[in-house]
Structure 1
Amino acid sequence: MKIFLILGAINAVLAVALGAFGAHGLEGKISAKYLEVWKTGVLYHMFHAFGLFIVAFLAGRFPESSLIQASGWVMLIGILLFSGSLYVLSTSGIKILGAVTPFGGVAFIVAWILIIIAAVKWL
């Protein structure tokens, strides 16, 4: 499905740009602890940008699979909740945002499980 290819590319661009911003724009402006939190957000952002590419490939190969499409949307929600909350937490210091991050992590897990279920159905 073309939308997941586009979303994967957009998120890969954002992950690279935010990684560079963290390395060059935030160094010395936020604590080392929050810089590590930022890096974690970027790392998971990029992993799941590539996950969206995988979803795009699988959706093209198995267009009838609603599980694959659902996986892509859940993965995107995971990027927004997990990485997004870590980016905002790092730059604002608002600790309550750390409570949002696990929901993004659960979304990542659910997205990958949906792919597993879809694969098992194909076997």
Structure 2
Amino acid sequence: MQKLFLGIGTFLAGLGVILGAFGAHGLKKLVGLETVSTYQTGVQYQMYHAFALLIVGMLYERLNNSLLNYAGALFIAGIVLFSGSLYLLASLKAMNKVGLSGVGIITPIGGLFFIAGWVLLLVAVLKK
């Protein structure tokens, strides 16, 4: 699992840089500033939690605790749900699609996954 979390964390951080560059340069031409801000929030949280995955991967060798597996999985799920839903919302606005604004309900669920991941990471560290 150590290599998996390190690999996924590295990939998601690199992807975050690419998505951030698109948001800063390309997306501004397609949508308003409010949507760009929403998109950038997704990028920020993706980057924070990509680094969290790297931390989990690095701690795995020292702690080798099953809670780290769950924390890493929750960070991944949080990125998909939280950041992914914000990217989807920005994409829908860019394409002038309406009727799928209910996608926004997924965002706070992703946020809860992030919080749970951090709690499990804390417990894993304190358990040592």
Could you tell me which residue of structure 1 aligns to residue 9 of structure 2? 8
TM-superposed CA distance for 1:28, in Å, is: 2.1
Could you tell me which residue of structure 2 aligns to residue 113 of structure 1? 119
Could you tell me which residue of structure 1 aligns to residue 68 of structure 2? 68
Unmatched 5+ stretches in structure 1: none
For the residue of structure 2 that corresponds to 1:100, the secondary structure is helix
TM-score scaled by structure 1?
0.95
CA displacement 1:1-45 (0-9 Å, x = unmatched): 111000010000110000001111111211111100000000000
**Contact 1:86-1:101 at 8 Å conserved across structures:** yes
Unmatched 5+ stretches in structure 2: 94-99
**Contact 2:72-2:117 at 8 Å conserved across structures:** yes
**Distance in 2, Cα, partners of 1:20 & 1:83:** 15
Are residues 1:79 and 2:85 paired? Answer: no
**Distance in 1, Cα, partners of 2:8 & 2:61:** 15
- Map 1:1-123 to 2 at 5 A: 1-63=2-64, 65-93=65-93, 94-122=100-128
**Contact 2:20-2:40 at 8 Å conserved across structures:** yes
**Distance in 1, Cα, partners of 2:90 & 2:61:** 37
TM-superposed CA distance for 1:118, in Å, is: 1.1
Give identity over the alignment, percent: 44
Instruction: Work out the number of aligned pairs and report it.
Output: 121
Partner AA of 2:75 in structure 1:
M
**Distance in 2, Cα, partners of 1:60 & 1:73:** 17
For the residue of structure 2 that corresponds to 1:27, the secondary structure is helix
For the residue of structure 2 that corresponds to 1:30, the secondary structure is coil
For the residue of structure 1 that corresponds to 2:28, the secondary structure is coil
CA displacement 1:64-100 (0-9 Å, x = unmatched): x000111001100000000000000011033211100
**Contact 2:81-2:106 at 8 Å conserved across structures:** yes
Higher deviation after alignment, 33-42 or 93-102 = 93-102
**Contact 2:63-2:124 at 8 Å conserved across structures:** no
